[in-house]
Amino acid sequence: MKTQLFYSFLEKLRSTKILKVYEHLKETARYSREQLDYYQFNKLIKLLEHCKTNVPFYVNFFRKNNLSIHDFKSLKDLKYLPVIDKKTIREMYVNGQIISRNKKEFNPIHNQTGGSTGIPLQLLVGSQARDFQGAGILRYYDWMDGYCLGQQKLAVLWGDMRVRSINQKISDSLKLYLTNRRYYSCFSLDKHLIEKYHKSIFKFNPEFLRGYAFSIYLLAQYQCDNAVSRKLKFKAVSTTTEKITQQQRNLIEKEFGCKTFDQYGCGEILMIAGECAAHKGMHVTEEHVIVETDKNNEFIITDLDNYAMPFMRYKNGDLGKIVDDFCECGMVHKRIVDLIGRVDDTIILEDGKIINSSFFAVLFEYMTTVKAFQVNYYSFKKMDVNIIPDNAFAAKDKKYIEDKILMTFGSQQSFTLNFVDEIKQNPNGKTKFINVFKHEQE
Ligand SMILES: [Zn+2]
């Protein structure tokens, strides 16, 4: 009750309608494929009409290409629009080309993403986009064995670099308290801090746990390795932000005695997909986004709700596979079944050969004797492959890794396989598993 009241108050304050959209998404969850396509198409046309009139880049694009809204007859015609990458959208933010002239009508808030290139991307998020993102998350929570925001306790392992004012801090603390959540910062996680968090979470006694996948894995690993007597158990674990390997998922589920529900979004579009109770991939929030893939399985994402700064056919740098076959949960929403990794981490060898970072993700995905890995690539003379082996790691495993790397990279590639105790985090608390130092001299 207190949560409902608080949310209503917060929604008034922020001019959002998350709870209303959440009710709407519960209905559209039952839509057929035809209904969803029709729904998406209508939203797309509405957004295009807005862009054609109010967003300088699209005003010019429609004019230059002599395009009219009537040329868009089905969702397939989305292909008439250009694919836009991160670099382009960053430039268009600066020169205003991608900002709606009437942006104020959409109550935008300013946001920025960290970005793996180290240069943050600035963006505006209109209220409708915030409603669908928030509501999409609430619907995904429904799939997690009955988790209802505010009704049960939730521990959150999260990184947050935002500089906050005193007022924001107070508002955030109040929000956490009223929604029964407790926040644990996952910056600079070390064994000491994990031990401290483990004790604190045990005392808090939450039914659910949510956070960065690798941080949650570290917590599970701590519990496993240290034979802790007071074990953490949850009804469900929600992982996000980092790719979770099967081996990590197995350990989390074994230690915490529950299922893992992965969720996917990016800094520009926070809610893209979430895993249902059938655990056969993550259902795309199709009411909010259209996710296409190109021939390399790179995602091309259209946010149907951000009228302040439209992200249409945006390549966010992630890749994966999309399927639309039957799911036991009854939803027909397409699913991301194989979120592989980030394209940004592509390694280009001296001879021009391109090694996608997914090579390492796939190599280590099912190696049960490797707990975690991180690759630092410098040049053909230097590459560090750091792994945390478990006790069963044998000479044959080492040989297997070395053979696979040589087979893929070629014999001219020098590399070192290092056994390490921990994997380094980025300053923002996220963990990057492939680091390419392109300009660094060895
Ligand atoms: Zn499902």
Q: Cα of 328 to ligand 1 centre, how many Å? A: 6
Q: Cα of 80 to ligand 1 centre, how many Å? A: 31
CA-to-CA distance for 216 and 207, rounded, in angstroms? 15
Predicted confidence at residue 140, as pLDDT, reads 97
Nearest to 224 by CA among 261, 191, 256: 256
The beta strand positions in 186-330, using DSSP E, are 208-212, 236-240, 259-264, 273-275, 282-284, 289-293, 299-303, 318-319, 322-323
Predicted confidence at residue 117, as pLDDT, reads 43
Q: Cα of 316 to ligand 1 centre, how many Å? A: 24
Tell me the Ramachandran region of residue 10: left when phi exceeds 0, alpha when psi lies from -120 to 50, beta otherwise: alpha
CA-to-CA distance for 323 and 376, rounded, in angstroms? 32
- Cβ neighbours of 213 (radius 10 Å): 25
Predicted confidence at residue 427, as pLDDT, reads 66
Tokens 């880049």 sit on residue: 57
In tens, the pLDDT along 332-345 reads 999 999 887 655 56
Q: Cα of 246 to ligand 1 centre, how many Å? A: 19
Listed as ranges, residues in the chain with pLDDT below 50 are 116-118, 161, 439-442
CA-to-CA distance for 256 and 143, rounded, in angstroms? 18
Q: Cα of 148 to ligand 1 centre, how many Å? A: 18
Query: Do 196 and 222 form a contact (C-beta atoms < 8 A)?
Result: no
In tens, the pLDDT along 198-218 reads 999 999 999 999 998 888 998
Q: Cα of 280 to ligand 1 centre, how many Å? A: 7
Predicted confidence at residue 219, as pLDDT, reads 95
**Which residues make Cβ contacts (< 8 Å) with residue 350, sequence separation at least 6?**
379, 380, 412
Query: Do 313 and 84 form a contact (C-beta atoms < 8 A)?
Result: yes
Predicted confidence at residue 442, as pLDDT, reads 35
Predicted confidence at residue 333, as pLDDT, reads 98
Nearest to 43 by CA among 19, 78, 13, 7: 78
Global confidence as pTM: 0.83
